[in-house]
Amino acid sequence: MKLEIEVLQQQFGNMFEASLLQELAQVGNYMEVEEGFVLMRPGGYIRSVPILISGSVKILRADSEGREALLYYLGGLDSCAMSLTCCLDRRQSEITAIADEKTRLIAIPVEKIDEWITKYSSWKQFVFMTYQKRFEDLLGAIDQIAFHKLDERLLGLLNRKSKQCGCTIFNITHEELGQELATSREVISRLLKQLERLGRVKLSRNKIELLDKN
Amino acid sequence: MKLEIEVLQQQFGNMFEASLLQELAQVGNYMEVEEGFVLMRPGGYIRSVPILISGSVKILRADSEGREALLYYLGGLDSCAMSLTCCLDRRQSEITAIADEKTRLIAIPVEKIDEWITKYSSWKQFVFMTYQKRFEDLLGAIDQIAFHKLDERLLGLLNRKSKQCGCTIFNITHEELGQELATSREVISRLLKQLERLGRVKLSRNKIELLDKN
DNA sequence: GTAGCTCTGTAACATTTATCACGGACTCCC
DNA sequence: GGGAGTCCGTGATAAATGTTACAGAGCTAC
């Protein structure tokens, strides 16, 4: 797929200077992936750093027994700090990255990341902003896990999903939610039912509607 | 307190080039703090980035109700990524940093951090290595909190403390441990007693001895 | 020594979360 | 229409953690 300089201009015009946009167009690898596409698995080698143009990607942490916990979402123009840190010395991934909807992105080859940091101050800014945002995201994840009960975390997760996709209806199973919160399907079912009784959500098969977001 | 160039040479000689060591000596602010000294509180403004020469610093996350959770320890030659991210655009701290023992450190003024990244490639390396280590630390913290039970986390905490200070006897109260694990004193007492019955620790007032570390 | 303090042990109970078990509902496909 | 598969609801029970309450142990100051 061709990466048009106009598209880049439009997306990154007020963030990057013209010469960087040029380079982006030359070496960046444009990709479109469908919902559920696995961009990265733990242990995978990272050969490029993704920058999202549209869509969203969820980042999960897995333990040794196959359980997973949602860390955060990447959204428009976000990039992944894990891949930044990892690729700078050819390390393996420690996380899982899965497209949460149809997502368009540019993959930047590893070697450019470092080069551009000294070359383009706007790129340096972007890299540090990325680190900072991911740190905040991770701290947010820790807040949720350490300080909140499951029902609050579940509601929080639904709210974040809502913010991410801009809608209030999700096609998702209780099983999947359970995985993202590192708990079981039954627990999620129970809590959802409880939330439904409280008028916070409306449930049907494969579908959850978030009623009053606050 | 004066910062001797020889000391820097000895500590950072194989990491930084001579001219950077020079600058470090000129602008770096040498400090010695005692155990318990609070280096940073949430909401505090960050005017310098610390690099540890010796000792250790614990980094905690607090929630709005005053509970805290241990994130990780900084040890020899570590630096704090939070302060890196924060100071690069004058943000407030999101964490608490407390000296866990007598600690010597150099404080680098904010404005140099950015400047040196383009100027010294070794400094750039150092900054990125710092980010990477802190990311790993945070992921480790999430693993602990999300995937392990309290007794395992408690034992893990004691083991980490042991690694950090190089000893197996800690002068610490159950209350403090409870804070670091974001739980109550009673729970810690129970679990410690249980660990003592299992022969993993030996308890006395203000003192916990770790028996078989594994 | 003894009053006051901090720290620890522990019982009793409540709440939260996990696990097991099973049945019903819905969907797809033949 | 009837299996087969997936998804959901829910009771029963267990395990883990949180909370309340209180007693005693050790230290310090006087």
Q: What is the pTM of this model?
A: 0.92
A134 contacts: CB under 8 Å, gap ≥ 6: A72, A80, A81, A82, B135
* Cα distance from N-terminal residue to C-terminal residue, chain B: 41
Question: Are B73 and B57 a contacting pair, CB within 8 Å?
Answer: yes
Using CA atoms, how far apart are residues B59 and B206, in angstroms rounded to an integer? 22
Contact B85 A131 (CB under 8 A): yes
pLDDT digits (tens, 9 = 90+) for A60-69: 999 988 899 9
Which residues of chain B have a Cβ shorter than 8 Å from any chain A Cβ?
Answer: 61, 63, 65, 67, 69, 71, 81-82, 84-86, 88-89, 91, 94-95, 117-118, 121, 124, 128, 131-132, 134-136, 138-139, 141-143, 145-147, 182
Which residue, counting CA atoms, is nearest to the C1' of nucleotide C9?
B189
A75 contacts: CB under 8 Å, gap ≥ 6: A52, A56, A164
In chain B, % of residues over pLDDT 70: 94
DSSP H helical ranges for B47-102: 81-88
Using CA atoms, how far apart are residues B135 and B145, in angstroms rounded to an integer? 15
Phi first, then psi, for residue A33 (nearest 5°) are -125, 150
Residues contacting nucleic strand C by the 7 Å CB criterion are A 149-151, 182-184, 186-187, 205; B 173-175, 185-186, 189-190, 192-193, 203, 205-207
DSSP H helical ranges for A28-173: 81-88, 110-119, 121-147, 150-165
Residues in chain A: 214
DSSP 8-state secondary structure symbol assigned to residue A151: H
Q: What is the pLDDT of residue A156?
A: 96
Question: Are A159 and A210 a contacting pair, CB within 8 Å?
Answer: yes
Q: Rounded mean pLDDT of A83-87?
A: 66
pLDDT digits (tens, 9 = 90+) for A161-189: 998 888 999 999 999 999 999 999 999 99
Which residues of chain A have a Cβ shorter than 8 Å from any chain B Cβ?
Answer: 61, 63, 65, 67, 69, 71, 81-82, 84-86, 88-89, 91, 94-95, 117-118, 121, 124, 128, 131-132, 134-136, 138-139, 141-143, 145-147, 182
* Cα distance from N-terminal residue to C-terminal residue, chain A: 41
Question: Are B211 and B202 a contacting pair, CB within 8 Å?
Answer: yes
Residue whose token pair is 């190089």: B166
Split at pLDDT 50, 70, 90, the class of B39 is very high
Q: What is the mean pLDDT of chain A?
A: 89
